[in-house]
Amino acid sequence: MIRGLGPKKREMLKNIGIEQDKDLLFLYPRQYDDRSKKIRIRDAVDGENAFMTLTITSQPHTRYLRRGMRMTRAHATDGTDFITLVFFNQPYIANRLKMHTPYDVYGKIKRSGRGVELTNPVVENRGTEKMGRIVPVYPLTKGISQNDMLSFTGQAVALYAKDLPEILPQDLRDARGLIGLAEAVETMHRPASMDALRTAYQTLVYLEFFVFCAGMQMRKARNKTQHAPVIPAGEAEELISSLPFRLTGAQRRALAEITEDMASGSPMNRLLQGDVGSGKTIVAFLAIYQAFLAGFQSVYMAPTEILARQHHASLMNLMRFRGLRQELLLGSTPQKERENMLRRLQNGATDVLISTHAALGEGVQFQNLGLAVTDEQHRFGVKQRAALSQKGENPHVLVMSATPIPRTLALLWYGDLEISTIDELPAGRIPIETIVITREQEARMAEFVNTNIDRGRQAFIICPLIEENEELALEAVETLYARISQTFFRHRRMDFLHGRLPAAEKEAIMRAFSEGKLDILVSTTVIEVGIDIPNANVMAIYNAERFGLAQLHQLRGRVGRGEHASYCILLNEGETEEAFERMRIMQSTNDGFVIASEDLKMRGAGELLGARQHGMPVFTIGDLHRDRSLFEQAKADAAELLGEDPKLDKHEHRWLRQRITEKFSEVGQDIILN
């Protein structure tokens, strides 16, 4: 048992993923304070952290600065110079610090005209274990302190680290300069030196990546052993030639890759990614048409009901007079209508089902499903395949990406998918002009919107929240709508949209906007993916600083779809350097791949891929961007090891096999190894 860890604190630790005592081994520090080397005041560098032994030379003095803010100051020396210790809202420190007594102190040095200062430093009695070494700093939760975490992890290491099995084979560890798992875990919590810490970190990151890559490669290999409908190329060229536009070279290349997969007899698992407006949907529709010509059914699963309805209308328009029978199945479909629809689907009287992920629900049976098109947030994993397999199906799967990510990162992350990239926009697209303004310029923005409406255009106005937030001073959709409809846009036809409105009401509003019966739609990000209104040419985004780069780019992509010059106006109220940088990037480029690369630099791969990790193991220590070379090495090594032992049947691979099974089963992705 771990001392000091009672029922209350156990419950608190669950907030940071600690379910059992052993889990503490793998709760890695978020940073380290190097308190191993003592320096003198005269050698301390401005802005750097320093560990020093100081003797208090003045009685600590506390004074009130303003309500809720107190400052305590004390003077100290180490014999080489004098320094001032400053503490905010720590009045107890005045009683703790004794005159003429030496203390071990750690904090950030500040040099100014007033001399040398340390603000809110860590102060310990001489010789404690918190000084004179590298000290880990852990992620915390309410009710748990750093002292608690240092104690709990130290005890966990002593109790459990020695029993950790070696997951990687010895020869592989030796070849890559890695250490054993027990030593690596112990070093992460109690590093003897920064060099030792680097080796431990590399070992654990490599192991995490290796397990992920091996699991993905095994899943991909298993998919290739399965059989899927053979869908020959068919006569799609006749439909392509009748389109009112020409496919780009990139669209044709992507379609050729999809066609080759579907004709192979093995299940297609392909990611189709491209920039906003690059024409991914038409490529998916052409694949559906090929399945139809070969006598197979298809299902297209959109992320939202609004988008499902839009795709249903677009596909009907495209396939008019071609004999393709399609149905639209939504959560809001009346029961009687749903029953009749499912009967037709099961009898083969329906060729294409357009739906949300309601299509995976109970009672949805296909006669001969050949192709499933899905969005990346609901990736087709083992569970979803199993759901269809139980219905006697093993379709080809095309995963549609909402926004692009850098191809190198896509190749690393989507290890179980082939990738098709549409990297050119249709000819004749007029680049969207992006303008950044402040709230003080709101009236000018409104005047600009009115000018465009007078020319027959329409506008989106976006705000980030549904409800008021006093703390952040953000306007809700309905409040913003009420204010601007009574001031700037009194004579305009307007409505508002957010995710909590009933489905029928949302649909009616979107239909009115798309039919030109509304001039302005005030909305949350419910419209960010796929909505196609060619006549809308202005996108104004309030509190643009509240959105990430990918989301801003996705919202901007709702305009610029017609023949008119289009504009994206970002009302920025952020004052951070990061907010200004995001605005600068949005102004400088319309290229989604460039924006994705910048997003990767700013946020790191973990956060960028966060939304894409549905049903995927999450990295607890490695970062795909920072540790990319380690990932590529682990991926290559995993492929080589699986080439020799595809199912990890060898005795020395038993622990690796077990770890892969555990990691993927945690997210419902069973790696079936037998």
Q: Is the pLDDT of residue 421 over 50?
A: yes
- What integer pLDDT is reported at residue 604 of this predicted model? 62
- What integer pLDDT is reported at residue 656 of this predicted model? 95
Q: Where do the H-state alpha helices sit in 72-193? A: 93-96, 146-160, 170-175, 181-189
Closest among 181, 388, 222, 410 to 297, alpha carbons compared: 388
- What integer pLDDT is reported at residue 456 of this predicted model? 96
Which of 116-130, 148-162, 388-402 is predicted least confidently?
Answer: 388-402
Sequence-distant (6+) residues with CB within 8 A of 481 are 494, 495, 496, 522
Q: Taking residues 275-303, what's their average pLDDT?
A: 91
Q: Taking residues 322-344, what's their average pLDDT?
A: 92
SS3 content of the chain, % helix, strand, coil (to 5): 45, 20, 40
Average pLDDT, the chain: 87
Q: Is the pLDDT of residue 390 over 80?
A: no
Q: Indicate the fold that domain 433-605 takes in CATH.
A: Rossmann fold (3.40.50)
Q: What percent of the chain has pLDDT over 90?
A: 55
With bands split at pLDDT 50, 70 and 90, how would you rate the model's confidence at 381? low
Q: Taking residues 402-417, what's their average pLDDT?
A: 68
Locate CATH 2.40.50.140 in the chain.
7-162
Six-digit token string for 306: 């609004």
- What integer pLDDT is reported at residue 634 of this predicted model? 95
Q: Which residue has the tokens 């894409």?
A: 612
Residues 550, 188: Cα–Cα separation, whole Å: 34
With bands split at pLDDT 50, 70 and 90, how would you rate the model's confidence at 186? very high
- What integer pLDDT is reported at residue 378 of this predicted model? 55
- What integer pLDDT is reported at residue 603 of this predicted model? 67
Six-digit token string for 465: 């929240």
By the 8 A CB rule, do 66 and 106 touch?
Answer: no
- What integer pLDDT is reported at residue 380 of this predicted model? 54
Phi then psi for 469, rounded to 5 degrees?
-135, 100
Q: Is the pLDDT of residue 650 over 70?
A: yes
With bands split at pLDDT 50, 70 and 90, how would you rate the model's confidence at 471? very low
Sequence-distant (6+) residues with CB within 8 A of 337 are none
Which of 80-89, 315-324, 412-421, 496-505 is predicted least confidently?
Answer: 412-421
Q: Which pLDDT tens digit goes with each residue over 544-589?
A: 998 888 889 989 988 988 788 999 999 998 778 888 999 999 999 9
Q: How many CB atoms lie within 10 A of CB 192?
A: 13
pTM across the whole model? 0.70
DSSP string, 534-554: TTEEEEEETTGGGS-HHHHHH
Round the CA-based radius of gyration of the chain to a whole number and report it: 30
Locate CATH 3.40.50.300 in the chain.
236-422, 433-605
DSSP string, 257-271: HHHHHHTSSS--EEE
The CA-based angle 553-555-557, given to 5 degrees, is 70
Q: Which pLDDT tens digit goes with each residue over 115-132?
A: 999 999 999 999 888 888
436, HSE (Cβ side, Cα atoms, 13 Å): 16
- What integer pLDDT is reported at residue 528 of this predicted model? 59
Q: Which pLDDT tens digit goes with each residue over 504-555?
A: 888 889 889 989 999 999 998 877 565 778 899 999 999 999 888 888 998 9
- What integer pLDDT is reported at residue 329 of this predicted model? 93
CATH superfamily of 7-162: Nucleic acid-binding proteins (2.40.50.140)
Six-digit token string for 513: 């906007």
Which of 130-144, 339-353, 436-450, 654-668 is predicted least confidently?
Answer: 654-668
Q: Which of residues 384 and 211 earns the better pLDDT score?
A: 211
69, HSE (Cβ side, Cα atoms, 13 Å): 4
Q: Is the pLDDT of residue 269 over 80?
A: yes
- What integer pLDDT is reported at residue 547 of this predicted model? 87
Q: Is the pLDDT of residue 145 over 70?
A: yes
Q: Is the pLDDT of residue 470 over 50?
A: no
Closest among 311, 578, 594 to 431, alpha carbons compared: 594
CATH architecture of 236-422: 3-Layer(aba) Sandwich (3.40)
Instruction: Report CA torsion sign: 437, 440, 444, 449.
Output: positive
Residues 98, 57: Cα–Cα separation, whole Å: 9
